[in-house]
Structure 1
C-alpha cells in the first residue's frame, strides 16, 4: 500500500536542504514535488491544495533544533499534516446503546460490503467479546445472502435468515426484534449496492435506516477507486448520517489517494482499513501509523498488535524450551514459522510495516514474496517426518522425490535447505548468551548483496 507515494515522497524529502532554517526559497521545489506526488497518488485536488498550503505555512520560518536537520524538520511537519488530514487518532465504534447496537453497512456494489460485515463481526467477537448477529438485506442478489450465510457459518457467528421475496425494511425489523429477544450485543446489517449512486438505492437505504435506527452507519469503499472513492463517500454522506468509513482493498492500492481524501471531503473518520481478502485482514485505522507507513518509516505498533493476536504463545514457549535444552531447530519448526507468518498476512504484509523497507533494492523486494514461502511450505510438507527431523538425510534421490512431490525443482529444494541451515545457525545463536544481538547481526548479513536468505541464482527466489 502507498508504494508509489512513499517512493516519491522519500526521494523528495531526501533532497531538501537548508541553513538552519526552512525558508520559502529552500522549500519551494520540495513543496512542488510533494504536490505532484499527492496528485499522482490520486488525492483529490482540494485536499492537495489545503495540504500543501498548511505544510508551507508551518514550515516557513521554522527554527530547526540542533538535533534535527532542515530535512528532518520538514519531514516532521509533513508527517503531522498527513496525520491531521486523515483524522488525528483512531475513532472506535460507538456501541453505547441499548443492545443490540445496530451497525448499518452502505456502499456501492463490489466495494466489499459483505466481506467487511463478516470481518467486522469477527473483530467484534474476538477482540471485544461481543455476541454478534449478522443479516443481509440485499434482496437483489441471492448470492450476497448466501455469501454472508457461508462466511458467518465459518466464523461460528449467527446469521439471521432472509430471502429475495422480502422487503429490506421487513428484514431489518425482524432481525432487530430477534436480536433483542436473544440478547445479542451487536447487529450488523448488510445492504444492497448498485454500480453507481442512484435515487432508488438511496431511497431504500434511507427507509431502512429510519426503520432500524443504527448507532453506526458505515460507508464501505474500495480504496482502488482513488479520488472517486471520496466523491462517492460524499454522495452517501449527503443522503445518510454516516458515522464512519471502512476502506477496503487497501493492500492493492499502490497510490493511497482514497485514504488521504475521504476524511477531508466527508468530514467522517476512517474507522477500519481492509488489508487483504483474508477474513482477519481488517485493521483499526490509525492515522499516525498510516502516515508513518507513507513516509517509509514503517508501522511497528501495528506489527506488535498483529503478533500479539496471531502468534501461538504455547508453540513459541515450546520452541524456546526446545532451544534451551539444545535439541535444535528442525524443518518441522521451520514450517511452523512459515505457517505463523502466513497467519499474520504473509511476508509482504509484515515487511510493509517495517521501517526502511521502501529503501530496499528491487531485487531484494522481488525475493521476499508470499509465493516463495508457500512453495517452501510445500517442499517441507513433501518430506517424511524423519527427513524433517534429520535434514542431513536429504541427499540426491530424496531431493528428486521431494521436488516431484511438491511440484518444484531439485534446485529449489537445495535453496530451501541452504536457507534452513542459515535459520538453524540463527536459532542456535539465539539460544546462547546475548542471543538476540547475535541474531540481529546474522539477519543484517542475510540482507546483504547475496539477498534474503543467501539465495543465489542472480538474487531471485526459486
Structure 2
C-alpha cells in the first residue's frame, strides 16, 4: 500500500534523518523533494504546494534548525501535516435513526456492490447490527444477482424487486420492510453512474431526497488517483455526501486519492477496502495511515486485529500446555488459523514498523502457511502431540504425504522447537527481562 510514495518520501527525508547539520537551504531542498513525491503520487498540485509551505512555516517557527534532533522533529512535522491533510480525526459512521439508512453512491466499477456487502458484514459482526441490503440498480440484472450472492455469503438478507424499475419506490419499500421485520440498518446499493450523466445524477438525488439517509457514502476506486478526486467533487456538488469510501487501497502504490480527497471535497474518508474478502474493510484512521506512509508501521491496528481473533479460553489452555511442555502441532495449527483470519499477510507485515521497507521486494503470498499446514496435516495424532517421536522414516512419510521434501520437514521441526523454547522462556522470567530490554531500546 502506497509503496512508491513511501519510498520517495523516505529518500526525501533521508538527509534530515541523519546527524548532519540542518540548514534552511537543505530544509527547502528536502521539502521540494517531498512536493515532487506527492505530485508523483498523483496528489493535486495545489494541495502538494500548500502542504510543503505549511510544513516549512511550522519547521522554521518551531526552531527545527537548532533543535537537538532536527531530523526527527522534521519527520514528525511531515507526519502531523499528512494526518491533518487526510482528515485529522477518525470519522465515525452515523447509525442514528430506526432504522439507520445508508445510501451508497459511486461510479460503475468502483466496487460499490462488493463494499455494500463488506459494510453489512462489518456492522453485523463488529457492531452487532441487523443489516438489510437493498438492490436498487435497476439497469443491470447482474448487479441484483451479485448482491444476492454477497448477501448469502455473509448471511445478510437482500431486498430486491427485479420487475420494479423505480429505484425510489424500491428504496422506500425496503425501508418499510426493514421496520416491519426488525432490521436496524438499511444499506441501499444504487446503480453506478457517471457524474456527467445528468439524468442518472438526478435519479440518485431523487432517491436521496425520498429516503433522507442518515449517511450517504461515495465509493471510489483509490487506484484512479486524481480522477477519483475530481469525480468525488462532481458527486458532492449534487449529493452533498457525508463521507468517502476508498476501495482497492491494497493495490494502490501511489496514494494520491487518499491524500488529496479530503482537502478538495472537505468530506472525511470513513472506510477503506483492503482486499477481496468480505472482512477486508477498515475504518480509516488518518494518523495511522500517515505512520504507514512514512514507514512507521501501524501497531495499533495490528493489535486491534489480533484482539478481534483472540480467544481467551484457548489462550489459557495453550499457556498451560507451554508450562507443561505439551505444546504440539495441533496447537500451532490453531494459532496459524487465527493469524490467517487477521487479513492478508502483506497488509499485516506493512503494520510492523520497519518490516514493510525491509520486505518491500519480497512477495508475501497469502498462501504462505500452505506448506506448513500440509506437513502438519500429514502427521499422525501422536506425531502432532509429541514431535519428538518423529524419526527419519516418519519424516520421509510426512514429506511424501505433504508433497514436500524431508529438508522442509526438518526445517519446520527445527523452527517449531526454537519457537517452543522461546515461548517457554516468555512464560518464565525471560519474558519480563525481554520486555525491559525492549523498553531500554526505545
Same fold per superposition (TM over 0.5): yes
The aligned counterpart of 1:63 is 63
Residue number in structure 2 paired with 1:457: none
Alignment partner, residue 334 of structure 2: 336
Per-residue CA distance 1:295-323 (angstroms, 9 max, x = gap): 11111111122122122222112111222
Deviation at 1:397, TM superposition (A): 4.4
CA apart distance, 1:161? 3.0
Deviation at 1:67, TM superposition (A): 7.3
The TM-score, its normalising length taken from structure 2, stands at 0.91
Question: What's the offset of the Cα at 1:243?
Answer: 0.4
SS, match of residue 240 in structure 2:
coil
Name the CA shift for 1:436/1:381 in 2 (closer, same or farther; >3 Å). Answer: farther
* C-alpha spacing 1:66/1:436, structure 2 compared with 1 (3 Å): farther
- Indicate the larger mover: 200-209 or 60-69: 60-69
CA contact under 8 A between 1:125 and 1:132: conserved in structure 2?
yes
Post-superposition offset of 1:61: 4.4
- Structure 2 partner of 1:3: 3
The answer to whether residue 431 in structure 2 is matched with residue 435 in structure 1 is yes
Distance 1:62 1:158, change over 3 A: same
What is residue 130 of structure 2 aligned with on the other side? Answer: 131
Alignment-derived partner of residue 376 in structure 1 = 372
Contact 1:85–1:263 at 8 Å: present in 2 too?
yes
Residues 1:304 and 2:303 aligned together: yes
The alignment covers a number of residue pairs equal to: 438
State the Cα deviation string for residues 57-101 of structure 1 (Å, max 9, x = none). Answer: 21124324987511111111101110111001111111223x111
Is 1:388 the counterpart of 2:384 in the alignment?
yes
Question: Once structures 1 and 2 are overlaid, which stretch shifts more, 105-114 or 371-380?
Answer: 371-380
Gaps of 5+ in 1: 443-462
Instruction: Flag the 1:414–1:175 CA change in 2: closer, same or farther, 3 A.
Output: same
Give the superposition deviation at 1:359: 3.9
> Judging changes above 3 Å, is the alpha-carbon distance between structure 1 residues 328 and 437 closer, same or farther for their aligned structure 2 residues?
farther
Name the CA distance, whole Å, in 2 between partners of 1:18 and 1:301: 27
Contact 1:273 1:284 in 2 (8 A): yes
The answer on 1:266 being equivalent to 2:265 is yes
Greater CA drift, 296-305 or 137-146: 137-146
Q: TM-score, normalised by structure 1?
A: 0.88
Going from structure 1 to structure 2, the CA distance change for 1:422 and 1:216 (only over 3 Å counts) comes to same
Partner SS, residue 16 of structure 2: coil
Question: Structure 1, residues 180-230: CA drift from partner, whole Å, max 9, x if none?
Answer: 222322110011114775233312212211221111110111111122111
- Could you tell me how far apart the structure 1 residues matched to 2:231 and 2:432 are? 49
User: Which residue of the partner structure matches residue 33 of structure 1?
Assistant: 33
Query: CA 1:339–1:67 in 2, change beyond 3 Å: closer, same or farther?
Result: farther
- Structure 2: give runs of 5+ residues left out of the alignment: none
Q: 1:124 to 1:9 in 2, by over 3 A?
A: same
Matched residue, 2:153: 154
Q: 1:131 to 1:385 in 2, by over 3 A?
A: same
Q: Secondary structure at the match of 1:246?
A: strand
1:417 matched to 2:413? yes
Other-structure match for 2:82: 82
Farther off after superposition, 44-53 or 432-441:
432-441
Runs of 4+ that moved beyond 4 A: 17-23, 65-68, 194-197, 436-442
